[in-house]
Amino acid sequence: MTLKIRVIAPDKIVWDANAEEIILPSSTGQLGILTGHIPLLTALDIGVMRVRIKKEWKPIILLGGFAEIKNNNITILVNGAEEITEINLEDAKNNLEKATKVLEEAKTNKEKIEGTQELRKARARLQAAIINNN
């Protein structure tokens, strides 16, 4: 038995495939879903969704949203998503350092909020790069 997973962003369908397992970045922590999971509606945070197809894990960066799990169907509505085909680990580390510096130098509330969002995205990209390189 498999899970039917659909990831929908405002501008496109990011993912539409079957998988054996999925790990979501929920607002309360990592949430693992296998077939037969009870119905659930959960908020998603910025982070890496990991999907296991056969014995291989595929990372996808989610930029917040909601997930509904029901009858082995998972519908994920997100603000945005980045499918990972190839991320350079060094670039991801450098981008994390830059985002950290921008946040440290932020002065206004707006700059701090934007800096925090960019830092969270940079962390997710680094995590995806690590997963993708293993």
Domain holding 9: CATH number? 2.60.15.10
* pLDDT digit string, tens, across residues 15-74: 899 999 999 999 888 999 999 999 999 999 999 999 999 888 888 889 899 999 999 999
Q: How far is CA 36 from the centre of its chain?
A: 22
pTM across the whole model: 0.77
Please give the residue range of the domain that contains residue 59: 3-83
- The residue among 47, 62, 83 that closes a domain is 83
Query: Structural domain tally of the chain?
Result: 2
Cα gap 130→3, rounded to integer Å: 25
pLDDT for residue 116 is more than 80: yes
Residues 78 and 95 in one domain: no
- The residue among 41, 58, 83 that closes a domain is 83
Residues 11 and 76 in one domain: yes
Q: What is the mean pLDDT of residues 114-119?
A: 84
Residue 49 CB: number of other CB atoms within 10 A?
A: 27
CATH number at residue 108: 1.10.287.540
pLDDT for residue 130 is more than 80: no
Residues 34 and 98 in one domain: no
Residues 76 and 93 in one domain: no
pLDDT for residue 109 is more than 80: yes
Residues 95 and 44 in one domain: no
Residues 15 and 69 in one domain: yes
Residues 18 and 78 in one domain: yes
Q: What is the DSSP string of 43-64?
A: EEEEEEEEEEETTEEEEEEEEE
Residues 100 and 120 in one domain: yes
3-state SS assignment for residue 3: strand
Residues 54 and 78 in one domain: yes
Residues 16 and 68 in one domain: yes
Cα gap 130→24, rounded to integer Å: 17
3-state SS assignment for residue 37: coil
**Contact indicator for 7, 15 with CB cutoff of 8 Å:** yes
pLDDT confidence of residue 20? 95
